[in-house]
Each structure stands twice: as C-alpha cells, then as structure tokens.
Structure 1
Amino acid sequence: MEVKSVSRILNPPVPHMVGDGFRVHTFFPGGYDINMSPFFLMDYGSKINFSARKDPRGVGIHPHRGFETVTIAYHGAIAHHDSAGNCGTIYPGDVQWMTAASGILHKEYHETQYSLTGGPFQMVQLWINLPAKDKLGKPKYQAVKQSEMVSVDLPDEGGKIEIIAGNYQGIKGNANTFSPINVYNARLNKGGKAHFSFPENFNTGFMVIEGAIKINGSEKADVNHFIYFENTGTEIEIEALENTVVLVLNGEPINEPIAHYGPFLMNTEAEIQQAISDYNQGKFGYLDE
C-alpha cells in the first residue's frame, strides 16, 4: 500500500467577516486553487474572542440552492433557523448539516446566552456540492450532537476519531450524504497516532484546528493550517506533537459542470438564472427576521 503524499501545506488566508458574527479564512475556493470536490467551500473561523453583547451577532436571512451547508462548532454556540421550519443550536463538538437542495432561506447567529457572556469562538463551515440528480430535491436538516456521535478509540490512549459522516475502519457516522464522503474530527493526545486509508482518487484535506501534527513521519503542520493531499496513494498517518484536533475531509469528486453565483451552486447558467427567478418569486419559503 502506497502513502498518500502531501501536495501543499496552506497558510490561513487573510480573514474577512461574514455578517458581523463570523470571522473566517476562506481556504477554498477563493483562498487557494485546489480541487476538494465534493467540498466546494471551506470557511474556517479560527479562534477569536467576541465581547459580550445583548443583540446576537450573525448572518441575516439569505437563500441557498444546489448544495449542503455543514457547520461544525469548536468554541462558542451557533443557532440556526430556516424556511423549512428547522431550528437548532450547536455547542462545541456539535454539527449542523443543512441540505438546501431545491431552495431554502436560513439565518445563522450566535446563541443568546453565548452572546450575553461572550468568549472564545471557533467554527468551520463547509459547502458540499450535490450531484445534479439531487440538486432540486427536498430540503432537510440533520443535527449531529457530539454526545450522539459515533467514535473509534485509538490505540495506546492516543485519542479518538469522531465520525461525523462516512465511515472509519468500517464504523459508520450518523450523517446521511448524497455522495461518498468522510468527515471526522480526529482528537489526539500528545504522541497519539491515527492511520487513515482512503481511495486513491478521493480528494483529501486535513484542517488543524488545535495543536500540531507530523504527517507520514516527516512533514509538520501547525494550528490553523490546511494540508492538501495528492490524488495518489491511499495511506496517511498523523502523529500529534501536542494535544491536537484535526478536521479530516475526504470525498469522491463529483465530475459534473459547476455554475456558481453567490448562494447558488448549480450545473448550468440557465439553472442559476432559474434559481434567481424562483428566489425573487418567493419560492424558497418564508422566514421571520
């Protein structure tokens, strides 16, 4: 079995604000020209302290069509409402998995109690593309609480792998997906090692959320850096140089045309125009401010 080599270790791009509640580094598609399909976008909110505030910060009502948004909380608390009637709050370790599909309105903001006290805030938001056949399906919402998350303990008290989606060593995570993907939180104790075996053609990237790791016994990646792997080989080993959290992203590419405009991710320009028309006609539902 051949090692999957590191292609690049990427520095965090210059951060920008999404609304007034999310300071993010967009690693892709804007920050770096890398192919992580079916993951279309990754906004990484590195750790920041927000001051206490009565009115919660966040992002107001906005539409989506043609993909899924996946929000993973590491510090702080994030609330969600959408026009399909779904709502929820995620706390550190929890995940919100929203399938926009045919179209949805939603808003995301700091949870009320967190907003009143302030404190550290850290999160990741992914946009996961949907295959063409699923882009106009019914919207849905999956709440994946850390307390209910399937995990695999690593040898020698090295830590554990939390399986958000996909499977690790044959153990399946809770989230349902539309194409083959693996999303894990690898929570490693200092000196702990984790081994991954992925199909050669799947796109793979690791985001170092906390700590630092050595990859395949050689290259080092520090906190807030993204490791982008080659599409050759299958085997990856990481070793924690201190207590570490790594977000693992791996998936089979969706080899279909992409048309992207703002919050819409479709296959053709005509479908983008239809999405804009449907949104303007109120076909994405209604959501209170």
Structure 2
Amino acid sequence: MKKLIEKVIPRPARPGMVGDGFRVYNMIPGGGISQQRISPFLLLDFNAEFDFGPSDHIRGVDVHPHKGFETVTIAYKGSVAHHDSTGNSGVINAGDVQWMTAGAGILHKEYHEKEFSKTGGPFEMVQLWVNLPKKDKATPAHYQAITANQMGKVKLPNNSGLINVIAGVFNETKGPANTYSPVNLFDIKLNKGAEVNFAIPANHNTAMLVINGSVEVNDQKAAEHSFVLFGNTGDNIALKANDNAVLLLLSGEPINEPIVSYGPFVMNTQEEIHEAIKDFQMGKFGVLE
C-alpha cells in the first residue's frame, strides 16, 4: 500500500544564516511540522547550492555547545572542517557524512575548509538533528566520520541511478551509521526517467527533501527544493525522476517521550534544560578554542 502523502511543502521564501558560513532554509521544524510530529528528527537545515565566493576569512560557526541529541552533516558540494572539545577534528567533502553524538555534552565548531574557502565554489549541505532516547542522553560524546566510499551502495538497474545508504537498510544493503533508535537515511541519485520503490515501515515518521531536480512521488509531483511529509499509513514509496534528481529520504521510529528544547540543548524536562545550561556554564562540556 502506498504511503500517504500528508503534504508537500515548498522551500521557504528566504534563507537564514547560521554563523556566516551556512545559508540555510529551515525545513524542520517548519511548514507546520512540529518536532514531536517528525520524531526522532528535530531539525533539518538545507544549504541549497550557493557560491560564497573566494575569501581569506574562513566562514562558519564558532564554538557552540550541544547536548541530548545527534547532529548529522551531509556534504553534497564543498568542504567543511570541524573541531570538538573531545579532541576530534576532520574534514567532510562531497559525498561524506559527519554523524556527531553530542550525548552528555560537547563543544563544537564547523567552518568552510581552508583551501575551499580560498577558492570558493558551489556549496551544498544538509544538517539534520536526530533526537536521543532519554536512556541515551547521557552517553559520552563521540562521532562517526563516514566517507563516501564507506556508504552502503545500491546501483539501480539499467543505469537508473545510485542509492547511498547512510543509515538503515535498503534492498538488504545496510548503511554504516550506528543509531540509537531505528532510522533510515538514504541519499538518492536518480537519472531522468528512473523509477524506484522503497519499503518504509508504516509507523515510521517519514519525509523527503528534493535537493535537485523534480520527481513524481506516489503519483504526486514534488518540485526542486520541496519537502514531502508522509503520513503513517502505508509502507511503499514509489519515485519516478522527471529530471536527473538528488533526494534525501529519512524515516525513523518515533521516540514517544517529551521533547523540551532550548537552543542547542534537547532534553525531556525543563529541569534537565536548567541542568544542561549549568553544566555548560561550569565547563563540563570541555574546552575548545
């Protein structure tokens, strides 16, 4: 049975800036989609392709805290460097993913990689926040650096395209990301005219971002940069590419727990938010220059 399409949401009219290096359209929570409705996903910021131009000033986001959830950064074009207070650092290039578990608390900064900043060029990214169940919110902070060649890869027949499985399973191919609750995250690249079907559990909260091109999804058109929210009826998603298309399909089993958010902290109660702020102010998240 086809998965019901609840709504197709066009890209917001204007982007916002995160720091001075990320020009993003906020898709979650937005368009009437609450964090509880799309649990376990908390936020999706889409940096649609944009050329910031060459610069000797390295653009990005300076040191900031996170606690109680995970950040997933997916690079489509351009390069991002990052550092955190546990001593981790690295660069993600086109096709790579950085999956950071903030857990009990971390300081983090991310910015355009130095050489990319000097030359400029197309920059296209998605950052997704994934909630942690209450039992895992105190897990020590850590991250998974997933390079393009580590993805689970499914080549579609007749040169129709490629599915990069970041998390979850597609056609018996498992993604490399370890998750704290059941999540599917698929980077989909389709050639014009390609058709493909996805089996997604009916109870999963499910959405799809059209990054490039346009598609027919369960016989309904989704234009470039639109965001498709599926209902919790049916378990099949049928895609047909009207153009060469790049899509991000995400689904997850809802975490049926209270969500209390305050900026970069996501906990279950207001008291836990106060505790997170106090821990940050006391330096318990470590040090990062």
Q: Which TM-score bucket, shorter chain as reference?
A: over 0.9
Distance apart, 1:155 and its partner CA:
2.1
Corresponding residue for residue 222 of structure 2: 221
SS at 2:8 equivalent? strand
TM-score (norm 2): 0.97
Q: Which residue of 2 aligns with 1:58?
A: 60
Kindly indicate whether the alpha-carbon contact (under 8 Å) linking 2:79 and 2:92 is maintained by their aligned counterparts in 1. Answer: yes
Aligned residue for 2:93?
91
- Indicate the RMSD between aligned Cα atoms, in angstroms: 0.9
CA contact (8 A) 2:9 2:31 kept: no
2:20 alignment partner in structure 1: 20
Give, in angstroms, the shift of residue 149 of structure 1: 1.1
Pairwise mapping of residues 169-188 of structure 1 onto structure 2 (< 5 A)? 169-188=171-190
State the 1:31 CA deviation. Answer: 4.4
Residue in structure 2 matched with residue 113 of structure 1 by the alignment: 115
| 1:24 partner letter | V
For 2:38 and 2:77, locate their aligned partners in 1 and report how far apart those are by CA, in whole Å: 25
Matched-pair contact (CA < 8 Å) for 2:152–2:164 = yes
After TM superposition, the score normalised by the length of structure 1 is 0.97
Tell me what 2:9 maps to: 10
Unaligned runs of 5+ residues in structure 2 are: none
Aligned mates of 2:44, 2:241 — CA distance in 1: 23
Deviation string, structure 1 residues 128-178 (Cα, Å, up to 9, x no partner): 000000001111110111122111111222111100011112211101000
The superposition leaves residues 46-96 of structure 1 with CA deviations (integer Å, 9 ceiling, x where unpaired) of: 111111001210000000000000000111111110001111111111101
Q: Which amino acid in structure 2 is aligned with residue 62 of structure 1?
A: H
- Is the 1:195–1:238 Cα contact (8 Å) retained in structure 2? yes
Distance 1:192 1:90 in 2: 29
Q: Distance in 1 between matches of 2:31 and 2:238?
A: 26
For 1:24 and 1:267, how far apart are their aligned partners in 2? 27
Matches within 5 A, 1:1-289: 2-13=1-12, 14-34=14-34, 35-216=37-218, 218-288=219-289
Q: Is the 8 A contact 1:154 1:193 kept in 2?
A: no
Structure 1 residue ranges, 4+ long, deviating more than 4 angstroms after superposition: none
- Say if 1:69 and 1:99, in contact at 8 Å, map to a contact too: yes
Partner secondary structure for residue 193 of structure 2:
coil
1:20–1:275 distance in 2 versus 1, CA, 3 Å: same
Q: Percent identity, aligned pairs only?
A: 52
Give the CA deviation at 1:228: 0.6
Give the count of matched residue pairs.
Answer: 286
**What amino acid is aligned across from residue 114 of structure 1 in structure 2?**
F
- String of CA shifts for 1:207-238, please: whole Å, max 9, x gaps: 0111110112x211111111111110001110
- SS of 1:116's equivalent? helix
Deviations 1:214-266 (A, max 9, x none): 112x2111111111111100011101111111001000000000110010000
Distance in 2 (CA, whole Å) between partners of 1:63 and 1:231 is 34
* Offset at residue 29 of structure 1 (A): 1.2
- Secondary structure at the residue paired with 1:89? strand
